[in-house]
Each structure stands twice: as structure tokens, then as C-alpha cells.
Chain A
Amino acid sequence: MTSSKTIVLRSSDGATFEVDEAVALHSLMIKHRIETGGADSTTIDVPEVTGNTLSKVIEYCKKHVEAPNSDDLKSFDTDFVKVDQAVLCHLAKASYYMNIKGLLDLSSKTIADMFKGKTVEQIRETFHIKNDFTPEEEEELRKENSWNLFV
């Protein structure tokens, strides 16, 4: 009978979540904290992640730890990232800080799909990027990218 030890995760805004240790260990960052934290580490702070995002991350870890071979894992992943931009961005950052490779790859791939078929200007709009090139640098870029549909 495996020990049903639980860990409490605390988000940046003070929300707490009790999860099975096995699920929490899916995050290599938490695994490291537990291994180096000693016997008292039953509450782990995750200051880089808000409660809303942490809740979703835990949902991902639960599914991947408790049913890693299930047939619907692929469709779970596909549906999991059908979220709006803000949530996706927070998920990506959380997976990076918490070192959860599967979720990092999944969210990176999904963000990469947002670039499909977009021009430079459309990419700037989508990601709210400010163009900080000088006109000379832009001319250089135009030359470098003669092989690419650029504008």
C-alpha cells in the first residue's frame, strides 16, 4: 500500500492546493524542493504562479500521473490548451518555472501555432510587440529576408 502522502502547494496570491505527492513530483522544481527541503516540506510556495494557473497546472499533472497510458491523453492535451491567450501564456510560464517538460512542450507548440501564416506586422499585433529597430536595421532585415514573404 503506497503512502498517500500529500503536499500543499501555495500560489503567489495565497491560494492553497492539497495534492498527492506523486502528482506534485511531476514538477521537477517541486521534486527538487522536496528532496532538499527536509522532512518539514509539506507546504511548498510557488510564488511565480497565481492560484488560477496553479489549479490548471495541477489538473494537467494529475491526468498525466494518474492515467499516463490512457487512450484519451492526446485529446486531453489538445483540449487542455484550447484556452485564451492570457491563460496559455501563464501556463507556459508556469510550466517553465515549475519545470514540467510535457506541459512546456505542449504550450510552446501551441504558442508556435499562433505564428502560422502571419506576417511580421501581424505577429507584432498578436503578441503586442513594440518595434524597436532603427530604420537602418529594418533595411538590413529586409535584405536578409529576401527569401521570405516579409511584409
Chain B
Amino acid sequence: MQLLFSELCFIVCNIFIFLVFTSHHSFIHSNMWNNLPSDLLSSVFFYLPPHSLARAMATCRHWHDCGRSTTRDTSCQRHPPWFIAVPTRGTSSLCFVHNPIETTWHRLNLLNLEHVPSVTRPVSTVAGHGLILFKSTGSVPIQLSVCNPFTGRFRHLPPLRKPRTNPAVGVIQNNGSSEFKVYVAGGMSEAESGGAASYEPTLEMFDSRINKWTVVGSMPVEFAVRLTVWTPNESVHSRGVLYWMTSARAYSIMGFEMSSNKWKELSVPMGDTLEFAAMVPRDGKLAVVGGTHGGNVSVWELGEDDKWNVIERMPVELGKRFTNGGTKCVGIEGGVCLYKDIGKGMVMWRSNWNHKNKWEWCSVEGCNEISGKRLENYPIRGLFLRPNLAYSSFF
């Protein structure tokens, strides 16, 4: 009897010790991650792609605040850029974003954001800061706004010094800081009472640091005309020059040199035979992606001597889908995307983070359904962004 009793005690004691140990153990575990210094947490967050970061920020308040205050250097190309599809015509207001890591399409609340007026169109991006620049549509003088589609923040820019319609819009961003400048060139200025509207041969600049527009200088009227009639889709800043390209054949490029306040003109390789062409930035240099009707797509880079060199050709197999017109192209540092409509497959050319100098072509499936329902195909304007979830004093 006694033996049994002491055995029982022994067992009970062990169970008790075991329970204390495991609860103590899990107590340690549960505290383990709770008291990470914020800087260390930021260091971990740095390595998370945007969708993982957003999910981490949704776990608790502390992690949410840490993510909001971790200013990522979004010019760093550790994470691949995200492609955003915005409908070009009023038939649909569904915007989609492509997650390049999970290769999934998601509905993006863009045109339906609370403050976004319904008559706006994306005109450009401050791609490195994860922002979209919107312009008002219609015949009123242009009104520009800035939006971060991944945090939902939105803000109007103040009115221009010289109001105009249909100007070229360009962006210069500082790497390593959240500041940026918006440039507006050309456009039609309002008619003086009774007179005819005329081309506005001036360039003005918005500095996000001081929240003001300044007239930078004048420009040749001929350039103002071209930039107004064939309003460019994007600008590229390279080696101190801000470049714009006319939006239709015969393609030509105009550049504004910051330091000398002078304008210059560049020819586009095969500028009068290309069916589509777009300027993209590449390692700080200006590049042009262009294709013929037959589906031959090439990439040219501008050398130091302002001469073009072919640096890449799209594999023939992929080029087959870009025949018969309607091809568009968008680029960002580290990636180029060729596309047509939301439903049709796209082709991307992207740098591989692990082998920085190696760029790879890949095919991306279009978005054909949403929540199990078939999606009608519609034409889109594509944008490339590096999602930025951090708090910005700009808004």
C-alpha cells in the first residue's frame, strides 16, 4: 500500500512539474517575440515583400505602427515591382493589381476610393515612392492629385501657376527620401477674354518639400505643340535630363536639361516604322521599348554619346502575341511590361534580384475572372509601382 502511494505521489509530482514547465515554456515563447526592439522588427520587415508586410502589420497594433514608420527605400529593387491595370474607358471601373510573387490578380480599390473624383485618369507614377499621379479629365485646366493605392491616401496638388489643358506631365523622384518633383510642360492655356486659346510654352515644377508650383522657364513653341497634341504617357529622368516622347508615330523625344534650362530633341530608333514605342528607365539610363506590326520587339538604350544601341530582343515565341496593334508598354527601374487588355496575357522583362545583371522574360496570365465570375475583357492602362505601406507626411 505504501509503495503504491509513493509511486502515485511521484507521478503526480511529475505531472505537476511538466505542466508548470510547459506553461512556463510557452510563457517564454509568447514573450519571446513580443519584446523585439522596434529597430530589429524593422530589420525583419525590410525583407518582407509588400503583401507579407501588410499581413504582418494586420496582426497587432505594435507591428502595425512599426510597419507604418519603417520608411522603406523603395528604390531598392529587392522586391519585384507590382503591375496595376486601370481601365481606359468608362465601361468598367474595376482596377486590378498583379502580385508578382504569388502570381495572383487582386481587385484594387482605386477609382472607387472615397476622395477620388470619378473623372480622373492616372497620368504618371512616382514609382519609387509607390504613388500614382492622377489628372482630371475633361476640358477644364488640369488638376493633379497624388494617391497611394496601397494605403488609400489621396491628396490634390495645388493649382498650377499657369493653368492649361493637356500638358505633358513628368516626375523626378529623389532616391532615399520621400521627396519628389512634378513637371508640367506645354498644354493649351485659357483664352484671354474673346481671344483664341494658345499653346502654353512654359515649364513649371511642383516641389513636394515646399508644396508649391514654380515656373521654371520657357520652351520652344514647337515642342509645346508636340507635347500637347501627342500628350506623352510617361517621362524618364536620366543623367540630369527629363525626357518625354510623343504618344504616336512618328515617335520623337524631347528632353529638358535641368542644369542649363535648355531643351533638346532626340530621334527614336525606327521612329517612323514602329507600331508602338515607350520610354523606360534602365539603370539610370534612358531606354526605348518598341515593336513592329510583325511582332518584333526590341529594346534600345541611349549611350553617353546620345546614340542608340540595341540591347535586347524579345524571344520570337513571346513576340507573336504582339502583332496586329493595340500593344502598350510600361517600365520602371528593374522591370518592363508589354500588355494589351486585362484578359490577354502579358509579357514582362524583369531583373533578377539575386543576379542583378540578369534580366529574364516571362509570360503573365491575364485576369479573366473575379470571385469565380467571368470578367469581360477591356482595354487598360498599365502602371508599375513598388508598393509603399509607410506613413508619409505628404498626405
Chain A residues within CB distance 8 Å of chain B = 85-86, 89, 92-93, 96, 104-105, 108-109, 111-113, 115-116, 118-120, 123-124, 127-133, 141, 143-150
Query: Does B29 touch A at the CB level, under 8 Å?
Result: yes
The residues of B that contact A105 with a CB separation of less than 8 Å are 43
B48 touches A115 (CB 8 A): yes
B36 touches A132 (CB 8 A): no
Chain B residues within CB distance 8 Å of chain A = 26, 28-30, 32-34, 36-37, 39-40, 43-48, 51-52, 54-56, 58-61, 63, 97, 102, 104, 106-109, 149-152
A129 touches B47 (CB 8 A): no
The residues of A that contact B152 with a CB separation of less than 8 Å are 143-144
Which has the most chain A C-beta neighbours within 10 Å: B30, B40, B51?
B40
The residues of A that contact B37 with a CB separation of less than 8 Å are 93, 96
With known contacts A108-B47, A120-B55, A147–B97 Cβ distance under 8 A:
yes
Complex Cα spacing A96 to B63, Å: 18
With known contacts A105-B43, A115-B55, A150-B55, A131–B60 Cβ distance under 8 A:
yes
A128 touches B30 (CB 8 A): yes
Can you list 6 A-B contacts with CB-CB less than 8 angstroms, sorted by A residue number?
A: A96-B40, A104-B43, A109-B47, A112-B46, A129-B59, A148-B54
With known contacts A108-B40, A124-B59, A141-B58, A147–B106 Cβ distance under 8 A:
yes
- In the complex, residue of chain A having the shortest beta-carbon distance to the beta carbon of B104: A149
Complex Cα spacing A145 to B56, Å: 12
Which has the most chain B C-beta neighbours within 10 Å: A108, A141, A148?
A148
Complex Cα spacing A118 to B54, Å: 11
- In the complex, residue of chain B having the shortest beta-carbon distance to the beta carbon of A101: B43
A149 touches B51 (CB 8 A): yes
Complex Cα spacing A104 to B108, Å: 35
B106 touches A146 (CB 8 A): yes
- In the complex, residue of chain A having the shortest beta-carbon distance to the beta carbon of B57: A141
A52 CB, nearest partner CB in chain B, Å: 13
B33 touches A146 (CB 8 A): no
A40 CB, nearest partner CB in chain B, Å: 30
Complex Cα spacing A146 to B45, Å: 20
A4 CB, nearest partner CB in chain B, Å: 34
- In the complex, residue of chain B having the shortest beta-carbon distance to the beta carbon of A109: B47
Residue in A85, A93, A128, A148 whose CB lies within 8 Å of B55: A148
A147 touches B29 (CB 8 A): no
B106 touches A127 (CB 8 A): no
- In the complex, residue of chain A having the shortest beta-carbon distance to the beta carbon of B105: A147
Residue in A89, A92, A150 whose CB lies within 8 Å of B58: A150
With known contacts A108-B40, A120-B55, A120-B58, A146–B107 Cβ distance under 8 A:
yes
A148 touches B43 (CB 8 A): no
The residues of B that contact A128 with a CB separation of less than 8 Å are 26, 29-30, 32-34
Return the 10 tightest CB-CB contacts between A and B, nearest first: A112-B47, A128-B30, A108-B43, A127-B33, A96-B40, A115-B52, A147-B106, A129-B59, A108-B44, A120-B55
